[in-house]
Amino acid sequence: MAIGTLNYEPQVFNPVQEAAPLTPLQEEILELKRQRNAVILAHNYQIEPIQRIADYLGDSLGLAYEAANADADVILFCGVHFMAETAKIVNPQRTVILPDAEAGCSLSDSCPPEKLKAYQDANPGLYTVAYINCSAAVKALADVIVTSGNAVKIVEQIPEDREILFVPDQNLGAWVSRQTGRKMRLWPGSCYAHVLFTTRAIEKVRGEFPDAPVVAHPECTQAVRDLADEVCSTEKMVQFCKNTPAERIIVVTETGMIHRLQREIPHKTFIAGPTDTCACNNCRYMKMNTLEKVRDALLKLEPSIEMDEDLRQRAELPIRRMLEWSKR
C-alpha cells in the first residue's frame, strides 16, 4: 500500500535467516588484509558487503577509540574522509588509507576553518565544541570534540561560566543544548541526508506501523526528533533495538544502519525512515566506498591520509580531551 500522498512503498527489512557465504572478492580482501597486516574499521552506514568484512563496525566514537588503539601496520578506514583523518590524528605512526578520498561530508564542508577562525576572533572567549564531523583544521580550532554518542556527557563537563559555540551541526547542537540546559551559539551547518527526513513522511510510516517505536539520529531536525521515541547515536540504536520489547522498529537515519541491526538482531523487523521522496535515505558519501575500491586501496596502500605534523598535534589535543572525558 502506498503511504498516503507519498508515492512509494515503505522499505521493510524482514527477519533474516542466514548470512550468504563470502564472495571471492571479499575473500581476496581478507587475504590482502592479512598480507598487509591491516585492520578494517567501518562505519555503520557502509554497504552490507563492507560491513561483513570489517574487524570493527561502529559509530564515530567507537571508531575513534579503535583507531587510537590499533596496532596493525595499516588502518583501512571505510567511512568518510573526516573519520579516516581522525584515525591518522590519533595514530600517526600507522598508514591510514580509505577506499575513496572523495568521500566527504556535507556537515564537515559547512564549517570552513577560516570562517570559524574569523568568528572566534570576532567573538573572543567562546568555548568551541566541535562535532567530530569536521576537518582536522576545524578540530585544531576547537577546545573539545564530541560525537553524537558522548556530546551530552562532554558538554556537561564544560565549566558553567564559559559560553559555548557548537560547530558545525545546528541540529545536534540544539539537541545537546536541550538535554543539558546549556545555552549555545549554534553554527548553521547540517547533514544534507538527515534533514531530508520530514514529520510528514515519518508520521505516515508510523501510521502504517503503529506498534513500531521510532528511533532517530540527533542530526535530524527538531520537529523530527520530537516525533521519536528515542534519539541517539548509531551505536546506541543497536542497544535500543535490542532492549525494546517491540518486534518492529522505524529507524530514522542512514539506511545502511539497518544491515548492522539485522545482523545483530536477526529476529526483528526494521522499517527504514522515509523522506518525502524516497522510502530510504542513503548518504551519497558513505556509499562511494565499494568492495573494489577497498581491494585497490589495500593493493596500492592509497589513497592515504597525510597531514602536516603541527596541524595534527593541534587537532589531537581536543580529541584526546574528548576520549578522556568520555570515560569519566
Under the rule (CB under 6 A), what is the footprint of ligand SF4? 80, 105-107, 133, 191-194, 219, 254, 283, 285-286
Which residues within the stretch 232-291 sit at the binding site for ligand 13P (CB under 6 A)? 233-234
Which residues within the stretch 97-156 sit at the binding site for ligand 13P (CB under 6 A)? 133, 147-149
Q: Which of 129, 216, 219, 217 is nearest to 170 (CA)?
A: 219
Residue 75 or 232 with smaller CB distance to ligand 13P: 232
Give the strand pairing for 230-231 and 248-252: unpaired
One-letter identity of residue 103: A
> Exactly one of 33, 36, 40, 44 binds ligand 13P (CB under 6 A); which one?
44
Rule CB under 6 A: say whether 326 interacts with ligand 13P: no
Q: Smallest distance from the beta carbon of 220 to ligand 13P, in angstroms?
A: 10
Distance CA 36, CA 319 (A): 28
- How is residue 111 written as a grid cell? 564549517
Give the strand pairing for 184-186 and 144-146: unpaired
Rule CB under 6 A: say whether 191 interacts with ligand 13P: yes
Could you tell which of ligand SF4, ligand 13P, none binds residue 99, using a CB distance below 5 to 8 A set by kind?
none
Residue entry with cell 568518510: 80
- How is residue 178 written as a grid cell? 536541550
Residue 32 or 147 with smaller CB distance to ligand SF4: 147
How many CB atoms neighbour CB 288 within 10 A? Answer: 17
Residue 36 or 66 with smaller CB distance to ligand SF4: 66
How many CB atoms neighbour CB 159 within 10 A? Answer: 6
Residue 13 or 82 with smaller CB distance to ligand SF4: 82
Tell me the backbone φ, ψ of residue 78, rounded to 5 degrees. -100, 95
Could you tell which of ligand SF4, ligand 13P, none binds residue 135, using a CB distance below 5 to 8 A set by kind?
none
What separation in angstroms does the CA of 156 have from each of 100, 151, 177, 180, 328?
A: 36, 9, 10, 6, 11
How many CB atoms neighbour CB 104 within 10 A? Answer: 16
Residue 252 or 298 with smaller CB distance to ligand 13P: 252
Could you tell which of ligand SF4, ligand 13P, none binds residue 285, using a CB distance below 5 to 8 A set by kind?
ligand SF4
Q: Smallest distance from the beta carbon of 327 to ligand 13P, in angstroms?
A: 17
Residue 86 or 177 with smaller CB distance to ligand 13P: 86
What separation in angstroms does the CA of 179 have from each of 83, 154, 184, 218, 268?
A: 26, 12, 12, 11, 30
Rg (C-alpha) for the chain, rounded Å, is 20
Rule CB under 6 A: say whether 219 interacts with ligand 13P: yes
Q: Smallest distance from the beta carbon of 318 to ligand 13P, in angstroms?
A: 16
Could you tell which of ligand SF4, ligand 13P, none binds residue 148, using a CB distance below 5 to 8 A set by kind?
ligand 13P
Distance CA 71, CA 275 (A): 41
Could you tell which of ligand 13P, ligand SF4, none binds residue 233, using a CB distance below 5 to 8 A set by kind?
ligand 13P
Residue 148 or 268 with smaller CB distance to ligand SF4: 148
